């Protein structure tokens, strides 16, 4: 009886303990099943494929596409967490239970679907180590491989999945899912051949309807990536047919339309996208479907309908990637079909403001910049050729060539309006003004300002008529200046044509136009470097764009013959299989280097001068000749301080090497010297003119005084004249009269005459009175030395 009494509590304890264990595990499974319902419901409407923009945004935020496509709801996550807590209690309080491996598997799945891959990995490893013979091992191996994919450890995942596929002991269902996952892994690694092979296998034998349909869809994607466009539509039609739900069906139809478009079957593509648009219930995908429909209408040639759809997208789906791409498409139509570059640029500029995150935004910005560069070059060329127009007035004719639009508004014929008609409006100046130099134009502008100031005072009598007197012209200097200006203009024009050819070739893919502009540079033959580059570019176009090897080689031969020392000639030699110059001894360089060493190492400037002279005399066509001449001139100026010799050497260089890059460093120096010389000549001439005018005025005054004195003497009686004493040292009136043009000692006559002159001449006269002839015991003052500093020129060693 006592024994029976003891057994009853023990049995009660066992039953109570087992019931508690079972309830805990049961509740864990219950929460897990609830979470699984949410997950499967979510997978039925999951996003099969993200757009490129969505993938880029996720990558920028540090998330993957799978995070968004398979993101769990809050309810699902909470149920998984409840299941984790209860399964953990089973493992903690009942470690010897026969259901421990089931509890561990449930725990690992919960971690995996919550995307806590590291915890899931530790749980799966524990199952594999502690329960190697458990029936959950095949599924555990598959989930472990998928967890490595979640951690982006693709190489390890590939190995594990490959082992599962090759293991015949693993159930077929698990192996087929492993093939599908392996295909997705190869797709991530961009190995589309292996991905297609695995997707094809899983599509053929998978029992799971979703995996079967997804395998067909992914196989179609692989064929598109492999550019096997003829095969892709048939595979995607199967995906549409086997779609497990409406959401998948919509995405499969969209992908099928893209496959038809890539195949070139635009009619079927348009029909497919219209069908997708009619069945689509997700408003987020509607803009993309409309965009694909518009793109295929454009490709088929229905521009009117395409433009309507683009405008519809812009109007109804603002600030979306589709609206940004619609602006870009309209820009392409204006650029490549209408050739209205201004409107094309306007559309390209709207892309970024519409949706800055769009992948098409940087491409649109580049197109806009290219068009702006093209318009600027064409406008610069028009200006240099005497037909300058504003950028906004550029239009194109039927042949695509630039048409100059003139401003035909009325011309103001008043004195104040004549100049502004040509300097402030979009019309070229008349021929008479075109022939004026820059200095003449500046003088005319200053004259207009002076006249305007005087007219504003209200008294037109104050206008100095001398302003309108023609300034003395130096015909030789003007001719030389005009020649230099013309040469600089031609040099700039040639550079603009060269740049225009470059942008036509590389930015607008118009090799024929590029050839035309390169040929202009060759025909002008203004600068050897520019011509060499144009010839090299012509050869490149003939070879790579027109496949005319013979013509390309002929142009390269001409380049080597005409410009053997240029870098482009070196490139031509490589293409022709000729030994390049860098492999040959450059004697000019050897001499030049010896000269540099003579000065910088041996401090022997005389020896350096001799070597530089040898470079100039023996190798006049070498690019080291102007460098040597410049080095010598520089040392004349900065080492020996022989300014006259330096100036003479610089002027000789300008004459011998007008195209050398060194000349750009010399011209400012010579211009400064010439300016100082002209200023000094002008000052000397002004002093001489003022002195001459003063002497003439003094002579006129003396002559007038002499005449008055003679008439007075005639009226005075003779005895009065005899009684008038003459002070000692005082000249007699007769002597004063006979003195001629000499000024009296107190210069009163000169002051009187000066007071009767105009203001400007009074000033000159006053200056002249201060320049009295030096006394006999004083030597004339030395000419004031010109202290104006000369601009420094870089040392020749700094010239590359």
User: Is the pLDDT confidence value at 433 over 60?
Assistant: no
Q: What are phi and psi of 240, to 5 degrees?
A: -65, -45
Distance CA 328, CA 1 (A): 96
Distance CA 614, CA 788 (A): 34
Distance CA 357, CA 379 (A): 34
User: Is the pLDDT confidence value at 194 over 50?
Assistant: yes
Cβ-based neighbours of 101, under 8 Å, separated by 6 or more: 127, 130, 131, 134, 136
* pLDDT tens track for 413-427: 444 443 344 344 444
Question: Which pLDDT score, from 0 to 100, does residue 107 have?
Answer: 93
Mean pLDDT (whole number) for 673-680: 84
> Smallest Cα–Cα separation from 328: which of 354, 297, 300, 304?
354
User: Is the pLDDT confidence value at 221 over 90?
Assistant: yes
Question: Which is more confidently placed, 516 or 474?
Answer: 516
* pLDDT tens track for 367-400: 999 999 999 999 999 999 888 555 444 445 555 4
Cβ-based neighbours of 632, under 8 Å, separated by 6 or more: 609, 612, 613, 649
Residue 603 is classified by DSSP as -
Residue 21 and residue 97 in contact, taking contact as beta carbons nearer than 8 Å? yes
Q: How far is CA 236 from the centre of its chain?
A: 43
Question: Which pLDDT score, from 0 to 100, does residue 46 have?
Answer: 60
* pLDDT tens track for 554-585: 999 998 888 887 888 888 988 888 876 655 55
CA distances from 129 to 91, 101, 102, 141, 157 (A): 16, 11, 14, 12, 19
Cβ-based neighbours of 402, under 8 Å, separated by 6 or more: 378, 382, 394, 395, 396
Phi-psi region of 701 (alpha: psi -120 to 50; beta: other; left: phi over 0): alpha
Confidence of residue 466 (pLDDT cuts 50, 70, 90): low
Question: Which is more confidently placed, 180 or 673?
Answer: 180
Question: Which pLDDT score, from 0 to 100, does residue 674 have?
Answer: 83
Residue 53 and residue 357 in contact, taking contact as beta carbons nearer than 8 Å? yes
Q: What are phi and psi of 298, to 5 degrees?
A: -65, -45
What are the tokens at 110? 């919960």
Measured on CA atoms in the order 213, 214, 220, 226, is the torsion positive or negative?
A: negative
- 31-45, 648-662, 769-783, range with the lowest pLDDT: 769-783
Q: Where are the alpha helices (DSSP H) in 361-458?
A: 361-384, 418-423, 431-434, 438-456
CA count, 13 A, side-chain hemisphere, 787: 1
Distance CA 308, CA 302 (A): 10
**What DSSP string runs through 234-293?**
HHHHHHHHT-SSHHHHHHHHHHHHHHHHHHT-HHHHHHHHHHHHHH---TTTHHHHHHHH
How long, in residues, is the chain?
Answer: 800
Q: How far is CA 701 from the centre of its chain?
A: 75
Question: Which pLDDT score, from 0 to 100, does residue 511 have?
Answer: 94
| 774: three-class secondary structure by DSSP | coil
Distance CA 767, CA 243 (A): 106
Confidence of residue 779 (pLDDT cuts 50, 70, 90): very low
395 bridge partner residues: 403
* pLDDT tens track for 689-723: 888 888 887 777 777 666 554 554 444 444 443 44
SS3 string, 457-469, reads CCCHHHCCHHHHC
Cβ-based neighbours of 605, under 8 Å, separated by 6 or more: 598, 599, 635, 639, 640
Question: Which pLDDT score, from 0 to 100, does residue 783 have?
Answer: 37
In this structure, the number of other CB atoms found within 10 A of the CB of residue 665 comes to 17
> Smallest Cα–Cα separation from 144: which of 174, 168, 120?
120
Torsion of CA 29, 30, 34, 36, to 10 degrees: 20
Distance CA 329, CA 260 (A): 20
In this structure, the number of other CB atoms found within 10 A of the CB of residue 789 comes to 7
Residue 319 is classified by DSSP as T
Distance CA 360, CA 377 (A): 26
Distance CA 537, CA 553 (A): 12
Distance CA 515, CA 198 (A): 51
User: Is the pLDDT confidence value at 663 over 90?
Assistant: no
Question: Which pLDDT score, from 0 to 100, does residue 389 have?
Answer: 56
Reduced DSSP (H G I as helix, E B as strand, rest coil) percent helix, strand, coil of the chain, to 5: 75, 0, 25
| 395: three-class secondary structure by DSSP | strand
Mean pLDDT (whole number) for 40-65: 58
User: Is the pLDDT confidence value at 471 over 80?
Assistant: no
Question: Which pLDDT score, from 0 to 100, does residue 265 have?
Answer: 96
Angle made by CA atoms 668, 669, 671, in degrees to the nearest 5: 65
Question: Which pLDDT score, from 0 to 100, does residue 55 have?
Answer: 55
Q: What average pLDDT does the chain have?
A: 77
* Long-range Cβ contact pairs of 716-723 (< 8 A, separation 24 or more): none
User: Is the pLDDT confidence value at 498 over 50?
Assistant: yes
> Smallest Cα–Cα separation from 142: which of 164, 118, 173, 167?
164
Question: Which pLDDT score, from 0 to 100, does residue 455 have?
Answer: 66
> Smallest Cα–Cα separation from 182: which of 167, 200, 161?
161
| 402: three-class secondary structure by DSSP | strand
What are the tokens at 294? 């518009």
What are the tokens at 112? 């995996």
Question: Which pLDDT score, from 0 to 100, does residue 794 have?
Answer: 42
Residue 97 is classified by DSSP as -
Residue 83 and residue 101 in contact, taking contact as beta carbons nearer than 8 Å? no
Distance CA 726, CA 733 (A): 10
Confidence of residue 602 (pLDDT cuts 50, 70, 90): confident
Angle made by CA atoms 300, 301, 303, in degrees to the nearest 5: 125
> Smallest Cα–Cα separation from 55: which of 441, 323, 359?
359
Question: Which pLDDT score, from 0 to 100, does residue 408 have?
Answer: 43
SS3 string, 217-244, reads HHHHHHHHHCCCCCCHHHHHHHHHHCCC
| 403: three-class secondary structure by DSSP | strand
User: Is the pLDDT confidence value at 769 over 60?
Assistant: no
The model's pTM: 0.60
Confidence of residue 438 (pLDDT cuts 50, 70, 90): low
What are the tokens at 449? 């300002």
Question: Which pLDDT score, from 0 to 100, does residue 504 have?
Answer: 94
Cβ-based neighbours of 425, under 8 Å, separated by 6 or more: 407, 409
Distance CA 319, CA 327 (A): 11
Phi-psi region of 421 (alpha: psi -120 to 50; beta: other; left: phi over 0): alpha
* pLDDT tens track for 281-291: 788 889 999 99
Mean pLDDT (whole number) for 669-686: 84
What are the tokens at 348? 């390209």
Angle made by CA atoms 695, 699, 702, in degrees to the nearest 5: 135
User: Is the pLDDT confidence value at 11 over 80?
Assistant: no
């Amino acid at each position: 009886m006592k024994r029976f009494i003891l057994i009853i509590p023990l049995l009660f304890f066992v039953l109570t303990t087992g019931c508690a264990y079972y309830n805990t595990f049961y509740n864990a499974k219950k929460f897990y099943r609830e979470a699984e319902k949410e997950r499967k419901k979510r997978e039925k409407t999951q996003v099969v494929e993200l757009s490129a923009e969505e993938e880029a945004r996720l990558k920028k935020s540090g998330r993957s596409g799978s995070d968004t496509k398979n993101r769990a709801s809050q309810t699902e996550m909470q149920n998984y967490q409840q299941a984790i807590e209860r399964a953990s209690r089973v493992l903690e309080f009942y470690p010897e239970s026969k259901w421990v491996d089931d509890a561990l598997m449930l725990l690992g799945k919960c971690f995996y679907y919550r995307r806590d891959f590291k915890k899931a990995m530790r749980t799966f490893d524990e199952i594999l180590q502690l329960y190697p013979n458990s029936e959950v091992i095949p599924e555990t191996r598959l989930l472990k491989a998928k967890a490595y994919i979640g951690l982006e450890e693709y190489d390890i995942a590939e190995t594990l999945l490959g082992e599962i596929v090759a293991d015949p002991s693993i159930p077929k269902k698990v192996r087929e899912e492993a093939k599908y996952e392996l295909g997705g892994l190869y797709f991530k690694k961009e190995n589309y051949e292996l991905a297609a092979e695995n997707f094809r296998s899983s599509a053929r034998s998978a029992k799971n309807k979703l995996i079967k349909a997804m395998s067909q869809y992914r196989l179609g994607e692989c064929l598109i990536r492999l550019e096997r466009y003829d095969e892709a539509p048939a595979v995607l039609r199967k995906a549409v047919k086997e779609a497990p739900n409406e959401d998948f069906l919509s995405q499969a139809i969209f992908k099928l339309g893209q496959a038809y478009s890539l195949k070139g079957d635009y009619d079927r593509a348009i029909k497919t996208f219209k069908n997708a648009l009619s069945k689509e219930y997700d408003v987020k995908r509607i803009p993309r479907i409309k965009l694909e429909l518009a793109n295929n209408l454009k490709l088929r040639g229905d521009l009117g309908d395409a433009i309507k759809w683009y405008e519809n997208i812009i109007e109804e789906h603002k600030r979306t990637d589709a609206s940004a791409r619609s602006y870009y498409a309209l820009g392409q139509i204006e650029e490549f079909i209408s050739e209205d570059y201004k409107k094309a640029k306007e559309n390209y500029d709207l892309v970024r403001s519409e949706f800055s995150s769009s992948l098409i935004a940087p491409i649109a910005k580049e197109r806009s910049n290219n068009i702006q560069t093209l318009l600027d070059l064409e406008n610069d060329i028009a200006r240099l050729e005497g037909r300058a127009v504003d950028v906004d007035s550029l239009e194109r004719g039927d042949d695509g060539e630039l048409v100059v639009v003139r401003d035909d508004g009325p011309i103001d014929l008043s004195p104040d309006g004549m100049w502004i008609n040509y300097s402030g409006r979009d019309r070229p100046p008349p021929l008479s003004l075109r022939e004026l130099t820059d200095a003449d134009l500046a003088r005319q502008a200053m004259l207009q300002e002076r006249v305007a100031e005087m007219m504003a005072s209200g008294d037109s009598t104050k206008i100095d008529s001398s302003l309108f007197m023609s300034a003395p012209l130096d015909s030789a200097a003007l001719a030389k200046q005009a020649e230099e200006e013309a040469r600089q203009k031609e040099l700039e024009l040639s550079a603009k044509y060269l740049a225009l050819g470059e942008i036509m070739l590389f930015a607008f893919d118009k090799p024929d136009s590029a050839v035309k502009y390169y040929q202009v540079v060759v025909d002008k033959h203004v600068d050897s470097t520019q011509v060499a580059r144009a010839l090299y570019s012509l050869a490149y176009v003939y070879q790579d764009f027109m496949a005319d090897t013979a013509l390309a080689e002929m142009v390269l031969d001409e380049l080597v013959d005409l410009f053997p020392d240029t870098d482009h000639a070196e490139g031509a030699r490589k293409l022709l299989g000729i030994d390049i110059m860098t492999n040959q001894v450059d004697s000019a360089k050897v001499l030049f280097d010896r000269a540099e060493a003579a000065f910088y190492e041996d401090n022997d400037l005389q020896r350096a001068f001799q070597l530089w002279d040898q470079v100039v005399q023996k190798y006049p066509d070498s690019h080291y000749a102007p460098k040597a001449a410049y080095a010598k001139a520089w040392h004349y100026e900065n080492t020996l301080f022989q300014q006259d010799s330096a100036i003479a050497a610089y002027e000789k260089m300008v004459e011998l090497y007008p195209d050398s890059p060194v000349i750009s460093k010399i011209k400012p120096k010579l211009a400064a010297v010439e300016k100082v010389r002209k200023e000094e000549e002008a000052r000397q001439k002004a002093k001489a003119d003022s002195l001459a005018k003063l002497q003439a005025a003094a002579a006129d005054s003396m002559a007038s005084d002499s005449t008055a004195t003679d008439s007075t003497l005639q009226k005075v009686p003779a005895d009065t004249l005899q009684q008038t004493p003459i002070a000692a040292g005082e000249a007699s009136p007769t002597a004063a009269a006979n003195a001629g043009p000499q000024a009296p000692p107190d210069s009163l006559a000169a002051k009187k005459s000066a007071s009767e002159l105009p203001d400007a001449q009074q000033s000159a006269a006053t200056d002249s009175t201060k320049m009295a002839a030096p006394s006999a015991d004083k030597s004339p003052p030395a000419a004031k030395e010109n202290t104006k500093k000369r601009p420094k020129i870089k040392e020749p060693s700094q010239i590359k």
